[in-house]
Amino acid sequence: MSNEGDDSNSSCQINKYRNTKFYNGKADSKYRSRCSSSGGIGEITKDMLRYRMLALHQQGLSMSEIAADVKCNKSTVSRTLARLKETGSLFDRSRSGRPRKSTAQQDRFLINLAESDRWMTSIQLKKKLEENLQVKISDRTVRRKLLENGLTRARTKRRPRRTKP
């Protein structure tokens, strides 16, 4: 009997969710599963959950009730609402990290250069980049940029031996 009450409670929560602007019609099973999600098509994203938390908070629900509704920990709800108060935004804060060496335009130039001549090495590409755009980057950075865009070095095809060893 207690299971039936749990099911009706879950369906009540989902019906509440369906009435919000964040419902896309395909997310019921993902909504019931977990707080974190990969964010694919038809799935609940982190941003949707954050907006849901905000909407429930504005309706006057407690942290525990919000956490139970969105199926995540109470501390997650608390942190999310604290971030909203502190920054005025529900989105993630910008993260620290090393500044980029090249701009998006320079990266496009590098990719176009590599695609025009697939036999150029990373050192040759680096030199061309320095000559044309006056940007100093390492050949390892060039290789990383090429790999990020699905380009690998060109290799000659191995041919079968004609004679036996």
CB atoms within 10 A of CB 57: 17
pLDDT of residue 87: 87
Alpha helices in 24-160 (DSSP H): 28-33, 46-58, 63-70, 74-87, 104-116, 122-133, 139-148
Alpha helices in 98-153 (DSSP H): 104-116, 122-133, 139-148
Task: Tell how far CA 46 is from the center of its chain.
Answer: 10
**pLDDT tens, position by position, 1-37:** 444 444 444 444 444 444 554 444 444 444 444 444 4
Q: What is the pTM of this model?
A: 0.41
Please name the residue that has the structure tokens 């999310």. Answer: 80
pLDDT of residue 28: 41
**pLDDT tens, position by position, 52-85:** 999 999 999 999 999 999 989 999 999 999 988 8
pLDDT of residue 25: 44
Three-state DSSP class for residue 138: coil
